[in-house]
Structure 1
Amino acid sequence: MANYEERIQDTYTGEIAIIKSNDWYIFNQKKENKLASWEKRGHRLHKQQTKEEGLEEANRLTNEALENIKNMKNILKYTLGIDDKINWESLKDYKKFKQFKFDLQPPDLNSYLLQAPRWSIFEYIFKSITIKRKAILEEKRKEHELAMERFNKNKERKIAEYELEKKQFEKLQEKHNKEVEDLKSRFEKNEPEAIEEYLDLVFSKSKYPDFITLSYDLLFDESRKTIIVNVELPDPDSLPKEVDYKYIASRDEFTTKVLKKKEFSELYEEVISQIAIRTVHEIFESVYTNSIDFVVLNGYVNSIDKKTGNDTIACIVSIQAEREYFNSLNLTKISAKECIKGLKGLIASEFINLAPVKPILNLNREDRRIIESEAVIDDIDSNNNLASMDWQKFETLVRDIFAKEFAGEGVDVKVTQASRDAGVDAIIFDPDPIKGGKFVIQAKRYNNIVGVSAVRDLFGTVMNEGAVKGILVTTSNFGKDSIEFAKDKPLTLISGAHLVHLFNKHGYNVNIKIKQK
């Protein structure tokens, strides 16, 4: 046996070697040489593996880039094989409520009886032993009865909770299905609001590549049988330009090849044109009633003005299509841009430059939900407790204070109807082209803390309305979850204290006294 011996292992490949020698110097030299050899081989293998992985990743990225280009060129083609009509039944909820489960097992009598002493031969001699054993048995039976009673009560409580939960589930399910039926009925009766809601559903189900996000603003003009659609289109910088990736092993980095300026300009024109024609197609195909004869589409792009650095919005395409003529087109063979021209559409000379055109027909900002309401703010004094006043009066009061806040800026603040207001109690219209837009207000005359569900609902309303901001006003306060949810979102939360401050700012002395439970 050698004087010196050690088992070593290569951590990269797992190879094992036994180093032996009778001489300490030779032993160390052998070990160092072996470890150095392994390190050199490991570095070479790692470099080779990195190169292979890099080449594989470059190939994957290239395929993904080419797929992106292909998807952008087939935006219109994609929808032609799909029936855009809403399947009403698919909107309904027919899920079965979960089965009742109670995992606990009833107490076992034998397990209790086994805790009592067993019969023994001494019971023939000592009667007291028998008496004691039987007493313990009786005691264990009673313990089992009590345990069984607790078990049954627990199970009954769980069943009651389950039945209540099931009843609530079925009630919400029934409410949802009735809402679907109600929308279907109103849509087929050609009610304007229902037509707009229906088309919102159509567009929400319309699938585009992940990097394309569209938003729609709709108005149905019943007298003209015309739907006006404002579409927020993707700006050029949001679309991928990459067509090829290379991996440079010597620098361990990727290089990217992008479309030439002219190629990308042509692609962008194709994308915008196809989105416009596709949107018109989806409307005419999905609306199976006789309510719509014309579609007017205005395509807008929000971007940054490279000259000023300011936000800007430009209408770069506007078209009007008549149903009968549009349905006669063979959309599988058209050029989307030429089709727009054939529809006498207005288009920028080059979409890529975002040169604005005048919309054929503007979407009227007037909202059918808006109602006229008398000002109530001048009748308010310190004797009025905002937390206990009539809720409709409170909503009008909120409108009045915001009208004061925005006075002199050309801003309109309107109150909406109490029913079918989609969660909107007031609407602010700010005509400023940069900081303006549509703001929705919800007024909560609460005595309790406003939960996060109300803030979530407001955010959903902002998205559905295409608003730039949502404002939630309450006479009480907001919970921690509500404040956390509103962070980094276009939401403003105004608590009771802030509301009082707002009134004081404009010279009105009001108070809020929360009812204590």
Structure 2
Amino acid sequence: MARRSTLWTEIARDRELRQRQNARAVRVHQQVAKELATDAARARQADDRDAKARERERIEAERHAGLNEADNQNARLEARVDELAALLKTCVSAPPVTVEQLTAIQLPPFVPGPDGVALEPPERPVMQDGGLLSRSRRRREYEQAVEQYASAFEQYKARDRGRVARLEALREAHRQHVEDLRAAAVDRAANLRAGLRDGVEAVVEEFAVQAIAMLQLPDGIGLEPKAAYRRDPREIVVDIQLPDTKVLPTEKSVKYVHVRRSFTVKERSRNELANMYGGLLATLPLCVAQLLFSSLDAEVLDSVTVNGILPTADRATGRPVARCLVSVTTSRSTFDELVLDSPELDPVLCMRELGAKLSPHPLDYEEVLPFLTFELAKYRLDLSVDVAAGMDGRVNLSTMDWGEFEQLIRQLLQEMTGADSRVTRRSKDDGIDGVVFDCNAVLGGEFIVQAKRYRNVVPANDVRALAGVMHDKRANHAIFVTTAWFSDDGRRFALDNRVRLVEGPELKHLLRVHLGLDVLVPSARRRRRAGANDAGVGPAA
């Protein structure tokens, strides 16, 4: 009984021990699981904190980037405003344009090409030491290599002499080309100086256009000048192309709104834009006039007229139009009294002081009438005289003075078109007796006129010559008025080349209808003899 009791006691003790071990193992497992769960939770918390920190850093970086971009845009806006405001000061501080600047050339560098690279000489042979070959064998191979080297070296020297010869020829050709360019530049400078000294119209116009093109202007502003110079009054008329309102910074400021992750723009008021654009329109002609007066001598230039032309589109029709928004004419003495580099000077008030015409509503591109148009300045115009008022009785065109006849034709065309009609001076008129501007739709545009008193047929060559002058002057049309008649060839040529022909009978009719004058046209030979008289044209005696 004692042994059985002891056995059950041992069994119970072992069971209890295993139960305690199992319980301890469970507790250890639970503890490990709990620690793992705690570590995982801490890791997730750490990841969340890192993610939030990165998000905060991203948002902050985004905010700083937005603020920096807004600051950069505001800086660009301010720089553009300052650049436009300081344009007059920049132009005034620039030195005058000289002949040397206009005739300076960029000399091309010498480019030798492949012949500029030295040839590689053949490699000199070397006597081999040791090896499997005997000394005598090595010696024979070395001597053969020396002979081959000598032949190859002679060929190398011949090729190199040819290369050097070609290189020297290229160098000499380049030197001669550079000398020719320099000589041409010197000749061009001499011709330009002589032309400016003598007041040659074409030379002065070329100098003015190139000088204006050298003005340092803000981006988006290209004047594309056209110049017409008249020597007798020492006057130059310049048409410059104005920029539209797109060159203005319409935004006043830019602000970054972080909450909306976007930029808000504050626009400039219409009044502010009008003042800014009006100031630009006033500044550009002042810059051009200052440059011309400072670059051309007083013996050449005494008066400047600048017209600012804006190429745009008609809002009603969509057709392209050119509108004059500013026009100023001033003499050298008046302009020299201005202190353009004064910080207190207002370009708009300065232009008003000069009596300039400025668009009253520049943002609407409202036009002004120019003082003197570029088209008028192209011609040597004379004073207009009313000769029709002094004619009594029946007028015989054959006995009229040439100048009075041209003035009579001018009056006739002006009465017919209602446009500005002028006569040219007798000397250097390029074969033009008159000009009509801004004609009606029938005539159209700029119209050059030639008026001749002939008794015989006008040959086709005279019509062709007038058409050539029309193209040279870039006029829209031409009219040839004569007291005689035109050849059939001249008529056909005129129909195809925008030349309007007026013969004696039609001229007589037009003078009676539009000026109330009953005139006598010089007796003309019968038209059937036109072919015979084509070669012999004689003006009225």
Counterparts in 2 of 1:160-309, with a 5 A limit? 160-309=169-318
RMSD of aligned alpha carbons: 3.9
Query: Which of residues 33, 42, 58 in structure 2 aligns to 1:46?
Result: 58
Q: What is the CA–CA distance in structure 1 between the aligned matches of 2:464 and 2:251, rounded to whole Å?
A: 49
SS at the partner of 1:113? coil
Q: CA 1:344 to 1:408, structure 2 compared with 1: closer, same or farther past 3 Å? A: closer
SS at the partner of 1:171? helix
How far has the Cα of 1:282 moved from its partner?
Answer: 1.7
Q: Is the 8 A contact 1:293 1:323 kept in 2?
A: yes
The equivalent of 1:70 in structure 2 is 82
Q: What is the CA–CA distance in structure 2 between the aligned matches of 1:107 and 1:119, rounded to whole Å?
A: 30
* Residue-pair matches, total: 362
How far has the Cα of 1:249 moved from its partner?
Answer: 2.0
Q: CA 1:51 to 1:81, structure 2 compared with 1: closer, same or farther past 3 Å? A: same
Q: Is the 8 A contact 1:86 1:286 kept in 2?
A: yes
The equivalent of 1:58 in structure 2 is 70
Query: Which of residues 157, 165, 168 in structure 2 aligns to 1:156?
Result: 165
The equivalent of 2:373 in structure 1 is 362
How far has the Cα of 1:45 moved from its partner?
Answer: 1.8
Specify the code of the residue in structure 2 equivalent to 1:66.
E
Query: Which of residues 129, 147, 154 in structure 1 aligns to 2:156?
Result: 147
Deviates more, 1:190-199 or 1:69-78: 69-78
Q: Is the 8 A contact 2:116 2:167 kept in 1?
A: no
Q: Deviations over 1:346-405 (max 9, x none)?
A: 33323333222222111127968xxxxxxxxxxxxxxxxxxxxxxxxxxxxxxxxxxxxx
Query: Which of residues 331, 351, 363 in structure 1 aligns to 2:362?
Result: 351
Q: What is the CA–CA distance in structure 1 between the aligned matches of 2:280 and 2:356, rounded to whole Å?
A: 16
Specify the code of the residue in structure 2 equivalent to 1:201.
Q
Q: What is the CA–CA distance in structure 2 between the aligned matches of 1:166 and 1:25, rounded to whole Å?
A: 88
SS at the partner of 1:211? coil
Q: What is the CA–CA distance in structure 1 between the aligned matches of 2:243 and 2:256, rounded to whole Å?
A: 30
TM-score by length of 2: 0.58
How far has the Cα of 1:192 moved from its partner?
Answer: 0.9
The equivalent of 1:501 in structure 2 is none
The equivalent of 2:480 in structure 1 is none
SS at the partner of 1:318? strand
Q: What is the CA–CA distance in structure 2 between the aligned matches of 1:25 and 1:152, rounded to whole Å?
A: 89
Question: What percentage of residue pairs aligned between the two structures are identical?
Answer: 17
Q: Is the 8 A contact 2:310 2:324 kept in 1?
A: yes
TM-score by length of 1: 0.60
How far has the Cα of 1:313 moved from its partner?
Answer: 2.3
1:81 aligned onto 2:90: no
Counterparts in 2 of 1:274-423, with a 5 A limit? 274-331=283-340, 332=342, 333-364=344-375
Q: CA 1:255 to 1:363, structure 2 compared with 1: closer, same or farther past 3 Å? A: same
Specify the code of the residue in structure 2 equivalent to 1:198.
F
Q: Is the 8 A contact 1:112 1:144 kept in 2?
A: no
Specify the code of the residue in structure 2 equivalent to 1:211.
G
Specify the code of the residue in structure 2 equivalent to 1:363.
F
How far has the Cα of 1:104 moved from its partner?
Answer: 4.2
How far has the Cα of 1:69 moved from its partner?
Answer: 1.7
The answer for unaligned runs of 5 or more in structure 1 is: 1-20, 369-406, 417-424, 432-517
SS at the partner of 1:49? helix
Q: Is the 8 A contact 2:306 2:329 kept in 1?
A: yes
Q: What is the CA–CA distance in structure 1 between the aligned matches of 2:133 and 2:284, rounded to whole Å?
A: 97
Deviates more, 1:27-36 or 1:269-278: 27-36
Q: What is the CA–CA distance in structure 2 between the aligned matches of 1:307 and 1:24, rounded to whole Å?
A: 81
Q: What is the CA–CA distance in structure 1 between the aligned matches of 2:234 and 2:200, rounded to whole Å?
A: 11
Q: Is the 8 A contact 2:99 2:192 kept in 1?
A: no
Q: Deviations over 1:219-245 (max 9, x none)?
A: 001122110111221222432222211
Q: Is the 8 A contact 1:242 1:259 kept in 2?
A: yes
SS at the partner of 2:253? strand
The equivalent of 1:497 in structure 2 is none
Q: CA 1:137 to 1:215, structure 2 compared with 1: closer, same or farther past 3 Å? A: closer
Q: What is the CA–CA distance in structure 2 between the aligned matches of 1:415 and 1:123, rounded to whole Å?
A: 98
Deviates more, 1:195-204 or 1:80-89: 80-89
Q: Is the 8 A contact 2:239 2:374 kept in 1?
A: yes
Q: Is the 8 A contact 2:213 2:223 kept in 1?
A: no
Deviates more, 1:22-31 or 1:342-351: 22-31
Q: CA 1:122 to 1:83, structure 2 compared with 1: closer, same or farther past 3 Å? A: closer
The equivalent of 1:440 in structure 2 is none
Q: What is the CA–CA distance in structure 2 between the aligned matches of 1:105 and 1:74, rounded to whole Å?
A: 56
Q: Is the 8 A contact 1:317 1:346 kept in 2?
A: yes
The answer for unaligned runs of 5 or more in structure 2 is: 1-32, 380-441, 449-462, 466-470, 478-541
How far has the Cα of 1:415 moved from its partner?
Answer: 9.6
Specify the code of the residue in structure 2 equivalent to 1:165.
H
Q: Is the 8 A contact 1:85 1:288 kept in 2?
A: no
Q: What is the CA–CA distance in structure 2 between the aligned matches of 1:129 and 1:259, rounded to whole Å?
A: 94
SS at the partner of 1:364? helix
Q: What is the CA–CA distance in structure 2 between the aligned matches of 1:22 and 1:29, rounded to whole Å?
A: 10
The equivalent of 2:393 in structure 1 is none
Specify the code of the residue in structure 2 equivalent to 1:64.
R
Deviates more, 1:337-346 or 1:271-280: 337-346
Specify the code of the residue in structure 1 equivalent to 2:229.
F
Q: What is the CA–CA distance in structure 1 between the aligned matches of 2:351 and 2:133, rounded to whole Å?
A: 108
The equivalent of 1:389 in structure 2 is none
Q: What is the CA–CA distance in structure 2 between the aligned matches of 1:89 and 1:274, rounded to whole Å?
A: 24
